[in-house]
Structure 1
Amino acid sequence: MTQFDDPPEPLKALDREALERVRRLGSGQAGEAEIEATKQWGRQSSDHAEALWQASLLWDRLGPAGENLLRRSGAALGRIEAAPRAVNRRAVLAGAAATATVAYLAVRPPLDLWPSINDVMADYRTATGETREISIAGDIQLSLNTATSIKLQKPADLTDRIELLRGEAVVTVGSQPGRELIVVAGDGEARARRAQFDVLHERDTTCVTCLQGEVEVRRGNAASVLRVGQQIRYGTNGLGAAITTDIAEASAWREGLLIFHQRPLAEVVTEINRYRPGRVMLVNAQLGRRVVNGRFRVDNIDGIMAMFEQIFGAKLTRLPGGIVLLG
């Protein structure tokens, strides 16, 4: 077993309580009184606010697995205290999640549980709410959406390679004869010569939309060629089937817009979380199934949430650290 010189740092009781509070809020178990109590709890000090924010971020990153994981937080977090590595509070929280998720103790936490690790590895990146235009290899243009990180890989022969570590980018490949661009995202890739396409990579899912030309998408032994107006997703369940989509909706963010057509509110919440600091947490599963249609400005995310209050009768509860409970 690998040995480390630094002694362990126990997970603080404050972090334990924050994790349990977020678990109950996120699973819809909390009533009005408990929501208000959590709100007041987070206001007690900057340490309380930070603990609540970190627990919320962890819950969101774990997705559907989060409830089962944090339900077992007492045992799992007790074990992580024995992990032979001294880290700060954020690392301990991330390490706790990693340990419980993979049932592997006394190891260094997986890097993908720290949101900042991708930024460290990236050659180009954008912050939350920021977009950026860059040019590489002469005739390759990249439009980076909010919270996006990319890494340039060494070219080989007539092939350029880019890795999308997280986030979203519109990629435009020029007309340089013979050259091919490969965009690696997750466990798959998109290949194109003269084309424009959008790639969105979040967690374990990647979505590729062809805006111009043709794009070949590969995952493992499966492959599919997309033409203008087609979209495909891949992830842990393999490569999906190509579908027809609205390319204006897929690339609307380049105009500062979010366009939703018959989208469940739960998906809309996931999308708007990419554009604002903090975290919006949907605590009502039935509300999450309500359908959203409309065009919204990226720079008015709070206005979108106000609309949820008016149209759906949703209640917004604001907590420290930019956390908003939507129920």
Structure 2
Amino acid sequence: MNHDRHLHNDDDAITDAAAHWCMRLHEDDCSSAEREAFAQWLAADPRHAQEYHAMQEIWQTADLLPRNEAVVTPFPVAPRAARTRQWRPLASAAVITLLALPLAGWVGWEQGWLPNHYQRFESEGQVRQVRLSDGSDVELNLNTQLRYLNFKDRRQVTLVNGEAFFKVKHDSEHPFIVQAGHGQTRVTGTQFNVWKYQDQVKVTLVEGSVLVSSNSKDGGYRLGPGMQASYRVGDFEPQLAQSGDYANALAWRNGRLVLDNLSLSQALPVINRYLNKPLLLADANVGRIRISGIYSTREVNRLVDNLPKVLPVYLTRSKDGSTVLNRILPSPGRG
């Protein structure tokens, strides 16, 4: 019992220290001596680096730290498939340190600034099903990362990259918000899919309704079942489309990539989601070639190698090693 209590107190001390450094290193007057002390603390125990990175993620997700001044730690942290942390608003001195408030730590929770629960999930080589702390179910496509924070007045997910299918537990008093790229999807309980590649995002609604909006505009557009909304950086509002058959967008849940008469310029963002290095177009002319077919999401590299067999293209390599698609021009007619 005493041993468990000691471990519990030790974890609290690490959390408090991580909170202190997370805020202090983002202050303009942080000295070189303090940064050296931070490096020594970080190297003293692997748990220090893990806790510091987790603390940074929470506060950046909650918009309490500047994203463009994130401190890069000098020590690597091994990735984890999932991280779950219960935050104790009444117990942790980290709340007081970070908020710089002369009030008890529960103020952060009561005001909706701080989450009481944080989860992080990653999927690499396989589709993964997870359950959030609110009871919602999420299915993660290959190479997907997302974070979940539960606030007093909302449930907030950040889709860092990849694709996820959400079955949201209904709670009219706590909206469920998915931040992806430069926009968000807001629901109270429904089923929908969110796909993200670089700065492009596509939301497909299966059941219920969702409100999709751009970060640069108030309000938003409400989708009905079968509708899709797409947006990217610079879009003032999302582009809407009605599709009676959303099976293609959800085919990844069965390990399939469906390309239904898409131009290569449309297909490449979908294909590149599964590649280590993106497939590139030599020019706009090759981007107009259309492609159809059903492929395995685990064998997209084979799809790329086989493109010259089914399309009038040939492959070359760019300087960085990426594969480039070039169009084979028709032979000039003889006259």
Looking at structure 1, the residues matched to 226 and 291 of structure 2 have their Cα atoms a distance apart, in angstroms, of: 22
**One-letter identity of the residue aligned with 1:287:** V
Structure 2 unpaired stretches of 5+:
1-27, 33-66, 71-75, 84-118, 327-335
Looking at structure 1, the residues matched to 302 and 263 of structure 2 have their Cα atoms a distance apart, in angstroms, of: 18
Aligned CA distance change for structure 1 residues 322 and 241 (closer, same or farther; 3 Å): closer
| Greater helix proportion | 1
**One-letter identity of the residue aligned with 1:263:** L
| Aligned position for 1:193 | 188
**One-letter identity of the residue aligned with 1:209:** T
| Aligned position for 1:240 | 238
| Aligned position for 1:148 | 144
Looking at structure 2, the residues matched to 215 and 3 of structure 1 have their Cα atoms a distance apart, in angstroms, of: 44
Match of 2:166 among 166, 171, 194: 171
**One-letter identity of the residue aligned with 1:154:** N
**One-letter identity of the residue aligned with 1:169:** A
Aligned CA distance change for structure 1 residues 213 and 280 (closer, same or farther; 3 Å): same
Aligned CA distance change for structure 1 residues 205 and 313 (closer, same or farther; 3 Å): closer
CA RMSD of aligned residues (A): 3.3
**One-letter identity of the residue aligned with 1:205:** Q
| Aligned position for 1:15 | none
- The answer to whether the 8 Å contact 2:132/2:148 transfers is no
1:309 aligns with 2:308: yes
| Aligned position for 1:224 | 221
Looking at structure 1, the residues matched to 160 and 179 of structure 2 have their Cα atoms a distance apart, in angstroms, of: 8
Aligned CA distance change for structure 1 residues 222 and 233 (closer, same or farther; 3 Å): farther
Looking at structure 1, the residues matched to 296 and 319 of structure 2 have their Cα atoms a distance apart, in angstroms, of: 25
| Aligned position for 1:32 | none
Looking at structure 1, the residues matched to 150 and 171 of structure 2 have their Cα atoms a distance apart, in angstroms, of: 18
| TM-score normalised by the chain length of structure 2 | 0.57
Looking at structure 2, the residues matched to 176 and 109 of structure 1 have their Cα atoms a distance apart, in angstroms, of: 34
Q: Deviations over 1:187-245 (max 9, x none)?
A: 32111223111112233332211011111112221311111100012332122242112
Paired residues, number: 218
Looking at structure 2, the residues matched to 4 and 285 of structure 1 have their Cα atoms a distance apart, in angstroms, of: 51
Cα shift at 1:109: 7.9
By relative contact order (CA 8 Å, sep 6+), the higher-ranking structure is 1
Structure 1 unpaired stretches of 5+:
6-107
Aligned CA distance change for structure 1 residues 285 and 177 (closer, same or farther; 3 Å): closer
| Aligned position for 2:155 | 160
Moved over 3 A (4+): 1-5, 108-111, 119-122, 175-179, 317-323
Structure of greater Rg: 2
Looking at structure 1, the residues matched to 69 and 315 of structure 2 have their Cα atoms a distance apart, in angstroms, of: 34
